[in-house]
Structure 1
Amino acid sequence: MELWLLFSSSFISATILPGGSEALLAALVVKTPMDIATFVWIATLGNVLGAATTFGLGALAHRRRTQLELKYKKAIVWCQKYGCWSLLLSWLPVVGDALCFCAGWLRLPIALSMLLIFVGKLLRYYLVAWLALGVFG
């Protein structure tokens, strides 16, 4: 049950819906430190799949170009300037969702985009777990 909750929280956190999975990950890591790798992988999987959903929504929204250019102007500039590499920052609150959306909207290469999203989110969750163990463990 805890793993599904962590997965769901991580998934929702990476979509345009508000949410935060870091506190749940930290609590689970402190409660059961020997399962740290499992918790980090589940959180990362949920978060990457949520980001993939946001990426897909961006690709579908490509038709509403003018409205989106105004709303996501800064994220579009970052994605155009740095390409897929900007997705290493997809773990950032608020900005990360916009980057994923704009990457899909700009039709950046999906395989490299998902790889870089995965790397950024995995490193973030390992950092959260490590800090939770250091502070509370």
Structure 2
Amino acid sequence: MAALAIYGGLFISAFLAATVLPVSSEVVLAGLIATGRGEPALLFTVATIGNTLGSVVNWILGRGIDSLRTRRWFPVTPEHYEQASRTFRRFGEWTLLFAWLPVVGDAFTIAAGAARVNLGVFVALVALGKAARYAVIIAGGLWAIA
């Protein structure tokens, strides 16, 4: 039961952190590492999968951006979306490696959906960037407690 709470809680926080809610999965992950709760490799995997799947939600929102953009609940301001769209048009799919960045990362994933980026390419690039970020957090946490 404790394992379900650890890994399930991390998955939920990682998933939500990539969507519209202001959740910090990095704090949850760092806390688990610092307290020695959970296997680091499994924590890494769960966080990466959860956060990547949350970004897929943004990609789906991007597919319907024209009808959703004016909604009050839409996760990205028009200014951030326009900034991300310009950057996305300039650098293309490679911007998805930076989907983990605060604020603009969500906009990149929405812009990718609007640009009809292939879902397989999207998932591969987003997962790679998010995995790198979580690897740094875990390595730093393990180094700090060693």
Do Structure 1 and Structure 2 share a fold, with TM-score over 0.5?
yes
Give the CA deviation at 1:114. 1.0
Give the CA deviation at 1:136. 3.3
Segments of structure 1 that go 5 or more residues without pairing to the other structure are: none
Q: Contact between 1:83 and 1:108, CA under 8 Å: does it hold in 2? A: no
Aligned runs of 1:54-133 on 2, under 5 Å?
54-63=58-67, 70-71=78-79, 72-133=81-142
2:33 pairs with 1:29? yes
Query: 1:47-95: per-residue Cα shift (whole Å, max 9, x none)?
Result: 0000000110111223467999943111001111111111000011111
- TM-score with structure 1 setting the length: 0.90
Q: Contact between 1:40 and 1:122, CA under 8 Å: does it hold in 2? A: yes
Take 1:123 and 1:76, find their aligned partners in 2: how far apart are those partners? 23
**Letter of the 1:7 counterpart:** F
The alignment partner of 1:48 has SS state of helix
Q: Contact between 1:84 and 1:109, CA under 8 Å: does it hold in 2? A: no
> Which of 7, 13, 16 lines up with 2:11 in the alignment?
7
Give the CA deviation at 1:9. 0.3
Q: Contact between 2:97 and 2:125, CA under 8 Å: does it hold in 1? A: yes
- TM-score with structure 2 setting the length: 0.85
Q: What count of residue pairs does the alignment treat as equivalent?
A: 137
- Are residues 6 and 64 of structure 1, via their aligned partners in 2, closer, same or farther at CA, if it must alter by over 3 Å? closer
RMSD (Å), alpha carbons: 2.2
Give the CA deviation at 1:28. 1.2
Segments of structure 2 that go 5 or more residues without pairing to the other structure are: none
